[in-house]
Structure 1
């Protein structure tokens, strides 16, 4: 990625943080009308709150210890900014949950990951707890012709979504290469899998009804 691309990504991430903070304050999670939300941030929430509390303690402590006014002001600005940034990171994970609705599954990770998978592209779903190497949010794993993308929380995922055909997802780390499986973290993986299976069954029933209706109309026209 070029320097300009990295800067654009950093700016987009920063803007997303502040928007998330605003949504959190106003209690307006980004969940489509009629969709069910599935959070994923419970494992990382205590860690982030620990950093927030320590930062809040550090700000007045540094201000009290430093004798230089200019340094105190500079570090106060940096400290407050860092505190708000961490709260914004937590907010982004709270206001952008995964969701399941009429169109299928929408996978989120804060404001930086937004992947929609329609029902017709989902072959199977299952609960499977995995540990993922590294600390990146998005990890791509390849095994032969298969390519899996993990959207992790605390280097782990709990739900596997097997795709019907290889699918190109809007994730930079895939470099435009199609993937065959999507893995994601969820606070209640069993509930998410139940909802997805119910949605798949409903989608299959609607498709069958539509085919039956189309066949009936075709038969009527032929007569």
Structure 2
């Protein structure tokens, strides 16, 4: 069994692409409207930096996907975070939509690590032993469940049940 990767960004990628495609039009419009050269130059730099950040985010979402290897489930969100869960610690995995409005890409709620995309998760993992999860400034938490979003939850569930 080799590494299997699973995307999680299908809901947000279209919005990023729209903004990336519209950025040149925004730069052109600003160039036509703003009469001062110095301000146009500053706004051009900001527009180009914005386009670079959007392109970087798209690439990171493509490159850093969730994955399952021989020993671990890797949960990622671009370069923002990466959690490694031992497969031996997984008791049960199910598919099911959950909606929340935590407004964070990662949170711990009642012992559950929630990794939501657009306020939703669709894969639930029950752990047979608590795992320590570091949320950075929000501290280290022990979790017994994990909920996360995957573009193809059936494939994730199948990979984790093997």
Give the equivalent residue in structure 1 for 2:10. Answer: 42
Give the equivalent residue in structure 2 for 1:74. Answer: 42
Give the equivalent residue in structure 2 for 1:8. Answer: none
The match for 1:158 among 112, 117, 122 is 122
SS, match of residue 168 in structure 1: strand
TM-score, length of structure 1 as denominator length: 0.69
CA contact (8 A) 2:71 2:88 kept: no
Aligned positions of 1:8-87 closer than 5 A: 34-87=2-55
The match for 1:195 among 140, 148, 159 is 159
The match for 1:183 among 144, 147, 156 is 147
CA contact (8 A) 2:9 2:117 kept: yes
| 1:134 positional shift | 3.1
Q: Which has the larger radius of gyration?
A: 1
Give the equivalent residue in structure 2 for 1:106. Answer: 74
TM-score, length of structure 2 as denominator length: 0.94
The answer to whether structure 1 residue 116 and structure 2 residue 116 are counterparts is no
What is the RMSD of the two structures over their aligned residues, measured on CA atoms?
A: 1.5
CA contact (8 A) 1:127 1:190 kept: yes
The match for 1:94 among 62, 73, 85 is 62
**More helix as a share of residues:** 1
SS, match of residue 41 in structure 1: coil
CA contact (8 A) 2:135 2:141 kept: no
| 1:174 positional shift | 5.6
Distance 2:39 2:92 in 1: 57
Distance 1:139 1:90 in 2: 23
Distance 1:63 1:192 in 2: 47
Unaligned runs of 5+ in 1: 1-32, 199-223
Find runs of 4+ consecutive structure 1 residues off by over 6 angstroms: none
| 1:59 positional shift | 0.8
